[in-house]
Amino acid sequence: MSADVRSTDPELAELLDLELKRQSQTLALIPSENHVSAAVLAASGSVLTNKYSEGYAGRRYYEGQQIIDRIETLAVDRAKALFGVDHANVQPYSGSPANLAIYLAFLEPGDTVMGMALPMGGHLTHGWNVSITGKFFRSVQYVVERETGLVDFEKVRELALKERPKLIFCGGTAIPRTIDFAAFRSIADEVGAILVADIAHIAGLIAGGAHPSPVSYVDVVSTTTHKTLRGPRGAMLMAKTEHARKIDSAVFPGLQGGPHNHTTAAIAVALHEALQPSFKDYAHQIVANAKALADTLLAEGFDLVTGGTDNHLILIDLTNKEIPGKAAAKALDKAGLVANYNTVPYDPRRPFDPSGLRIGTPAVTTRGLREPEMRMIGRWMSQGVEAAKARDDTRLGQIRDEVQELAGTFPLPGA
């Protein structure tokens, strides 16, 4: 940590030290979390936070943009190269505003949008009723099959033909299997809809060749820049040339003012890292680790939605373990295994106290853990759940000590 923080604000410095210690001594299993490199951290905390830059490169409303324009152009060019897209916008502040910009670009209030229902693994901004996207637009939701946890595309097609959405989202936040972009493209073509792939969770896997790319199938790609892409907390929109002007106008001036230039620079760094050959190894190791962890959990008697995983994410239904997801997540946190409780498809429990756990492997893979460590984690999770049921905090503390010992051999990058 900077000596300036310690001398200026020792209270905050102490909290930052405690968070660094927490991250170092625990294992982050939340699939939307990761650990960025020292270079990404440095760019995020650079002097670029001082500069205001409404507009786009070459078309700004303030002067002094000579360097900022080059930085944003660098990020855009790297995004285009990494994902093979015609156009990229790196200015969205985060994933939800990025998705809202898509609505602004293509829809009028009251138009119909179709996305995966939130309890089935979709995202709030795909038209769920508590989101602005479900309040200002007419939303219809497709689901997964109760028996398999998978999408039945014939049923999606029937829903689309009945409701005639102008825009269809594919992707979500709790989907453990490969997304069939071609099937969604066929449905979108049949009803004349704009097709959007929200790849926020799997962008790094796509960049590293560990998941099929949607680029040749969809009109717009939306993604955050953290999660598996291992960058700062930001977002990007990528599109075909014919949609570029609409997307850019929706982001600015439609929804935002000046971009966060320090985040843009950090995105550029993360994209540069993702363009290196080693990132392909990283992306494939994420999937290998997730499969090894899933296999261990299955052997320990856990019920996994869809029976396993194809990507970085595992969704656990704890019903057969006779413990709610929230209680399990809090117990595992005591044991140094940081997960999040999550609804499962057709969950009979409330969203704030659901039946499931959502875990993933991006962060632990970044730290260098591989299949042998995944099997250790799976066994610790099983022991932690049983300790939680028995209210055995002593055992949770013992697991935490074991987790801390392992974590100490895999230091955080950039720490």
The conformation of residue 122, written as its DSSP 8-state character, comes to -
Q: What are the average pLDDT values for consecutive 10-residue runs of the chain, which has 415 residues?
A: 87 96 98 97 96 97 97 98 98 97 97 97 93 95 97 98 98 97 98 98 98 98 98 98 98 97 98 98 98 98 98 98 97 98 96 96 98 98 98 98 98 86
Query: Distance (Å, rounded) from C-alpha 311 to C-alpha 201?
Result: 9
Decide: helix, strand or coil at residue 201. coil
Q: Which residues of 41-68 are buried (b: 16+ CB within 10 A; e: fewer)?
A: bebbeeebeebebebbbeebeeeebeeb
Q: What is the pLDDT of residue 271?
A: 98
Q: What is the pLDDT of residue 2?
A: 73
Concatenate the DSSP letters of all residues of 138-185 into one string. Answer: EEEEE---TTTSS--HHHHHHHHHHH--SEEEE--SS--S---HHHHH
Percent of the chain with pLDDT over 70: 100
Number of CB atoms found within 10 A of residue 90's CB = 25
Q: How far, rounded to the nearest angstrom, does the alpha carbon of residue 20 sit from its chain's CA centroid?
A: 22
Contact at 8 Å (CB) between 30 and 360? yes
384: nearest Cα among 340, 334, 342: 334
Contact at 8 Å (CB) between 367 and 412? yes
Contact at 8 Å (CB) between 128 and 100? no
Q: What is the pLDDT of residue 1?
A: 61
Domain assignments of the chain as residue spans, ordered by start:
42-274, 283-408
Exposure on the CB side of residue 223, measured as CA atoms within 13 A: 31
222: nearest Cα among 209, 212, 234, 211: 234
Residue 348 makes CB contacts below 8 A (sequence gap 6+) with 355
Question: What type of residue sits at position 332?
Answer: L
Contact at 8 Å (CB) between 33 and 22? no
Query: In the chain, what is the greatest distance between 2 CA atoms, to the nearest angstrom?
Result: 64
Handedness of CA 96, 117, 88, 364 (dihedral sign): positive
Query: Distance (Å, rounded) from C-alpha 219 to C-alpha 338?
Result: 36
Number of CB atoms found within 10 A of residue 315's CB = 26
Task: Find out if CATH 3.40.640.10 is the number for domain 42-274.
Answer: yes
Query: Distance (Å, rounded) from C-alpha 411 to C-alpha 415?
Result: 8
Q: What is the pLDDT of residue 414?
A: 75
Q: What is the pLDDT of residue 272?
A: 98
Concatenate the DSSP letters of all residues of 6-31 into one string. Answer: HHH-HHHHHHHHHHHHHHHHSEE--T
Q: What is the pLDDT of residue 415?
A: 74
- Model confidence, pTM: 0.96
Query: Distance (Å, rounded) from C-alpha 322 to C-alpha 231?
Result: 37
Query: Residue 335 to residues 26, 84, 339, 393: CA-CA distances in angstroms?
Result: 8, 42, 11, 9
Query: Distance (Å, rounded) from C-alpha 412 to C-alpha 399?
Result: 20
Residue 296 makes CB contacts below 8 A (sequence gap 6+) with 374, 375, 377, 378, 379
Q: What is the pLDDT of residue 3?
A: 83
Residues with catalytic function: 52, 54, 198, 224, 227, 233
- Look up the CATH number of domain 283-408: 3.90.1150.10
Query: Distance (Å, rounded) from C-alpha 337 to C-alpha 369?
Result: 14
Burial class (CB in 10 A: 0-12, 13-18, 19+), 295: middle
Question: What type of residue sits at position 386?
Answer: E
Question: What type of residue sits at position 79?
Answer: A
Block residue for tokens 């073509």: 189
